[in-house]
Amino acid sequence: MAGIYIHIPYCKQACHYCDFHFSTNLSYMDDMVRMINMELIQRVDYLPAGQSIHTIYFGGGTPSLLSTKHLESILGTIAKHYKIDLLELTIETNPDDLKKEKLLALKSIGFDRMSIGIQSFQEEILEFYNRAHTAEESLNAIDLAKEAGFQKLSIDLIYGFPSATHNSWEKDLSQALLLDPGHISSYCLTVEPKTALGTWVEKGKFEPATDEFAAIQFEMMLEKLTASGYIQYEISNFGKEGNFAVHNTNYWKGVPYLGIGPSAHSFDGSNRGANVSSNHAYITAIKSGRGAFAVEEMNEEDLLNEYILTGLRTIWGVDLRLLMLKYKVDLLSLKKDMVDQLEREGMIHIESQALTLTKKGRLLADSIASALFI
């Protein structure tokens, strides 16, 4: 089992919080698609031999900016050069791109899962984020996608927008549950350097929400989504039974994947690496045949700690038997004092050789993982 991630590095405009790699200059899109196809061919032997491609994910950026012809070209290259046994074909979209013709075209070329970057249903918040879509387009996106035949849908929401009350977040959650997409991914508004938001904070023009404020909204989300039948199968991801994202789940479970396009990351099961985060440098490197990918060597300790970090974020937790079989590590003995303390504090739960986070522990997932690192 393996996956392919395609990074499409284009957006109509720059969201004020985003630090992903993208460009608002769309003039080299044809050239970029040709290079993506070329890189797919150049790196056909990256994944372990015999691996079938079970998931393909178009992310970005804004993949829905690509034409049907562009998408068919990339999918055609994958089909020609890779062993395909597809379980899921996903594309990230923005509400302003979801016109009936576009949706029907995406459906016709095989996409069966759509992730829609809504972020909020409040007009003033969307304007602050500098999103390209309106609140009305947010409201209509799910219905339009369902009418086009998409049954596996996900929406992205952002919590932690600073305010005197939690009313806006309450409205966003209520609206999301009314639309009932089946899958909701939600992330806290964070201030990243080299973004508009980061600059505003440096200049004292914006004050982010406190950790306590964001934690309250996280708990509100957990309570409301769980009560509506959504399962928190990963810290930031909630899905109804049968609607978990296969591609993303494989990331957290350590399944190998090939990342194609500028800034795309890859993992072959032993080492990670990433492509150069520059459209011009990427195109130049792929054209020259030397490639745009740099390997990040990982030793056994790196892989073990990464498994602890990602495993704890999921409902499946850390498989203690796997740690013993694969890494010869008895975590409960090696970290006995810390494990005992975390159990006493109600942060973790151990059952059937699986170490998972409790509801309380999910608020501190990264720090708990760090405390258990080898």
CA distance 294 to 315: 32
Same topology, domains 2-252 and 300-372? Answer is no
Q: Is the dihedral of CA 192, 193, 195, 196 positive or negative?
A: positive
Hey, what CATH topology would domain 300-372 get? Arc Repressor Mutant, subunit A (1.10.10)
pTM of the predicted protein model:
0.96
| Residues 188-227 pLDDT 10s | 999 999 899 999 999 999 999 999 999 999 999 999 999 9
Quick one: pLDDT at residue 228?
98
199 CB neighbour count, 10 Å cutoff: 14
Give residues with Cβ within 8 angstroms of 279, minimum separation 6. Answer: 9, 23, 28, 32, 262
Residue type, 178: L
Q: Hey, what are 181's tokens?
A: 């997409």
Give residues with Cβ within 8 angstroms of 325, minimum separation 6. Answer: none
Quick one: pLDDT at residue 342?
97
Is 40 in a helix, a strand, or coil? helix
For 300-349, the DSSP string reads: HHHHHHHHHHHHHTBTT-EEHHHHHHHH---HHHHTHHHHHHHHHTT-EE
CA distance 319 to 82: 31
pLDDT at 278 over 90: yes
215 CB neighbour count, 10 Å cutoff: 15
Mean pLDDT of 56-70: 97
For the chain, give the percent of residues with pLDDT over 70: 100
CA distance 103 to 218: 32
E strands present in the chain: 2-8, 53-60, 84-93, 113-119, 152-159, 183-188, 231-234, 237-239, 257-260, 265-267, 272-275, 293-296, 318-319, 348-351, 354-357
CA distance 192 to 284: 28
pLDDT at 311 over 90: yes
Q: Where are the domains of the chain?
A: 2-252, 300-372
Crossing angle for the helix pair 300-312 and 320-327, to the nearest 10 degrees: 170
> Given pLDDT bands bounded at 50, 70 and 90, which one contains residue 297?
confident
pLDDT at 160 over 90: yes
Q: If you average pLDDT over every residue of the chain, what do you get?
A: 96
Q: Hey, what are 175's tokens?
A: 């609206």
**DSSP symbol at 10:** B
Quick one: pLDDT at residue 197?
95
Mean pLDDT of 300-313: 95
Tokens 């069966």 correspond to what residue?
A: 112
Quick one: pLDDT at residue 307?
95
Question: For residue 61, is the peptide bond before it cis, meaning its omega torsion is within 30 degrees of 0?
Answer: yes
Q: Hey, what are 352's tokens?
A: 């059937």
Quick one: pLDDT at residue 27?
85
CATH of domain 2-252: 3.20.20.70
pLDDT at 244 over 90: yes
For 252-275, the DSSP string reads: HTT--EEEESTT-EEE-SS-EEEE
> Given pLDDT bands bounded at 50, 70 and 90, which one contains residue 127?
very high
Mean pLDDT of 340-350: 97
Quick one: pLDDT at residue 210?
96
Residue type, 104: L
